[in-house]
């Protein structure tokens, strides 16, 4: 996948991250695109809004897409490098590609995914990094809770 | 942890698996116990019941436990070896121990978790294996969908 297509899809995830921030939540968004480019599901981190630690952005997008017989050819687009939980999701369900907004403020399991045959497209987007830098500076305890650092 | 304690906690997860089966769902159950032995949350696979592919038994139990500042000392008890998605959950949040009912019908990521310092207690329970064997024989497509095999 080329960077232009990745950037286009990333805008959906960034919209989700902004929505999460506007709701008082952690600004991480994601979207799952089908093999044919259809948007299957989108979502954002809902730890604060729903008191639900299981809804990271990627799992929220995956959930919104509903039941699928196959994830072959699908792309998970996320504003931030996926943590082990979300990387495990990608590997288990055979999601083919992950587009990542940034991996500067957090480096999750995307190298492991690449080793296991998942195509990784790192966009290195300044807005994604800016959203996280500002959030982490303001709410370090909440961010640490979200990634199990304590 | 000794096998007797593991078997006692496993009964909660088995109850969840049976509840799931009674609802027409995939018979996998889980429970998250705190460092002091308190039951923090319990749940079962809800793919069929809720049309929600994100709720594996372990993620359902994790979700039911709500927000936690730390998972240090906690134990995830599950009737079946955790898939990569659920193994990633355990690793990311620093859950200390996983009690597994059986790893015969499905072998997930528990060896990887052991390599990363998670204590694994495999009970090798006949009822857990029996529930899955019967379910897989009757609903192979549903089972494959649940673990992303296609």
Tens digit of each residue's pLDDT (9 = 90 or more) over A60-110: 999 999 999 999 999 999 999 999 999 999 999 999 999 999 999 999 999
pLDDT band at A150 (very low <50, low <70, confident <90, very high): confident
Q: Do A86 and B88 touch (CB under 8 A)?
A: yes
Residues of chain A in contact with residue B88, where contact means CB-CB under 8 angstroms, are: 83-89, 91, 109
Chain B residue with CA closest to A146: the answer is: B93
Integer Cα distance of A42 and A12 in angstroms: 8
pTM: 0.98
| Contact yes or no for A87/A114 (Cβ under 8 A) | no
Residues of chain B in contact with residue A72, where contact means CB-CB under 8 angstroms, are: 150
pLDDT at A69 (0 to 100): 93
Any residues with CB less than 8 A from the CB of A11 and at least 6 apart, and which?
none
Integer Cα distance of B76 and B66 in angstroms: 14
pLDDT band at B149 (very low <50, low <70, confident <90, very high): very high
The tokens 């995307």 sit on which residue? A110
Whether chain A has a CB inside 8 Å of the CB on B88: the answer is yes
| Contact yes or no for A131/A17 (Cβ under 8 A) | yes
Q: Do A88 and B93 touch (CB under 8 A)?
A: no
Integer Cα distance of A102 and B139 in angstroms: 41
Integer Cα distance of B61 and B49 in angstroms: 16
If we measure between CA atoms, which residue out of B13, B22, B16, B19 comes closest to residue B98? Answer: B13
pLDDT > 90? residue A143: yes
What angle is formed at CA B138 by the lines to CA B31 and CA B85, rounded to 5 degrees? 40
**Domains of chain A from N-terminus onward:** 3-147 (3.40.140.10)
Tens digit of each residue's pLDDT (9 = 90 or more) over A108-140: 999 999 999 999 999 999 999 999 999 999 999
Residues of chain B in contact with residue A91, where contact means CB-CB under 8 angstroms, are: 84-85, 88
Encoded tokens for B111: 């060896």
pLDDT > 90? residue B52: yes
Integer Cα distance of A139 and A24 in angstroms: 11
Integer Cα distance of B135 and B84 in angstroms: 21
Instruction: Tell the burial category of B19 from Cβ atoms under 10 Å away from its Cβ (0-12, 13-18, 19+).
Output: middle
Bridge partners of B44, per DSSP, are: B29
Integer Cα distance of B79 and B88 in angstroms: 17
Q: Do A150 and B89 touch (CB under 8 A)?
A: no
Which of A85, A87, A117 to substitute to test the interface with B, most B CBs within 10 Å?
A85
Query: Who has greater pLDDT, B1 or A22?
Result: A22
Q: How far apart are the first and last CA of chain B?
A: 37
Integer Cα distance of B18 and B35 in angstroms: 26
The ipTM, to two decimals, is 0.97
Whether chain B has a CB inside 8 Å of the CB on A49: the answer is no
Strand order in the sheet with B29-33: B39-44, B29-33, B75-80, B97-102, B119-122
Integer Cα distance of B128 and B81 in angstroms: 11
Does the annotation mark A15 as catalytic? no
Task: Let me know how many helices (H) and strands (E) chain A has, helices first.
Answer: 7, 5
If we measure between CA atoms, which residue out of B85, B76, B121 comes closest to residue B103? Answer: B121
Residues 58-87 in A contacting B (C-alpha not used; CB under 8 Å): 59, 62-63, 65-72, 83-87
Q: Do A93 and B54 touch (CB under 8 A)?
A: no
């Amino acid at each position: 996948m080329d960077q232009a297509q990745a950037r286009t899809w990333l805008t959906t995830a960034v919209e989700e991250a902004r929505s999460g921030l506007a709701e008082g939540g952690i600004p991480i968004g994601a979207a799952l695109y089908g093999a044919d480019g259809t948007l299957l599901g989108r979502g954002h981190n809902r730890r604060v809004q729903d008191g639900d630690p299981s809804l990271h952005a990627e799992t929220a997008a995956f959930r919104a897409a509903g039941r699928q017989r196959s994830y072959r050819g699908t792309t998970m687009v996320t504003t931030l490098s996926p943590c082990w939980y979300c990387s495990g999701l990608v590997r288990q369900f055979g999601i083919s590609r992950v587009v990542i907004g940034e991996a500067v403020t957090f480096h999750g399991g995307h190298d492991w995914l690449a080793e296991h045959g998942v195509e990784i497209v790192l966009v290195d987007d300044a807005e994604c990094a800016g959203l996280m830098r500002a959030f982490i500076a303001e709410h370090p305890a909440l961010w640490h809770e979200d990634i199990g650092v304590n």
